[in-house]
Amino acid sequence: MSTSGWEIRLSSTKSIPYFFNVDTKQSTWEPPSEFTDEQVKTLPGAKEYWGKPNQIRASHLLVKHNESRRPSSWKEDHITRTKDQAVTILEQHQSEIDAALNKREKFGELATQHSDCSSHDRGGDLGMFTRGQMQKPFEDAAFALEVGEISDIVRTDSGVHLILRTA
């Protein structure tokens, strides 16, 4: 598979890298599936985004509760569920993901439908981040994951999360 015409650009709204083909004008958030990791790293623009040391990429599914730092979201103006109720909801999502054939796909579907984070419309994708950018419990859990791995339930001031490391 030729990588000709493909490059990595930064999405203006979400400062998330995406893949653009200057010849065909195709654009995609994920590298074209036929590209090897090595080919992705040779694309124009790759050095700036994949080259940064100690940078990872992750998606998450957040369920907020009445003690959350900001107990509202795109879904509910005023979130009143308790922390225990939020954990129970997240455990139900965790069971669905565990039972799914394609866990990454199921994770993205559930995050899009149910995450209380504004990243829900990107399947929960938070883009690339380094240590020092996210709340500590989230950072420690995300950096402890292997690429493709999903965390257990993680508690932060924002609520309770499942995290999928994607890069």
Ligand X SMILES: Cn1nc(-c2ccccc2)cc1C(=O)N[C@H](Cc1nc2ccccc2[nH]1)C(=O)O
Which one among 156, 160, 164, 165 touches ligand X, defined by CB under 6 A? 156
Rounded CA-CA distance 153/162 in Å is 5
> Catalytic pick from 11, 39, 55, 135?
135
Please indicate whether residue 92 is annotated as part of the active site.
no
Site for ligand X in 107-146 (CB under 6 A): 117-119, 122, 126-127, 134-135, 138
Annotate each residue in 60-99 with x if it binds ligand X (CB under 6 A) or - if it does not, as one string: x-x-------x-----------------------------
Q: Half-sphere exposure of residue 3, counting CA atoms within 13 Å on the CB side?
A: 18
Rounded CA-CA distance 96/75 in Å is 21
* 106: CB partners within 8 A, 6+ apart: 96, 97, 100
Number of H helices, E strands in the chain: 5, 7
Residue among 73 and 94 whose Cβ is closer to ligand X? 73
Cβ(73)–Cβ(116) under 8 Å?
yes
Known catalytic residues? 60, 117, 135, 158, 161
List residues binding ligand X (CB under 6 A): 14, 60, 62, 70, 117-119, 122, 126-127, 134-135, 138, 156, 158
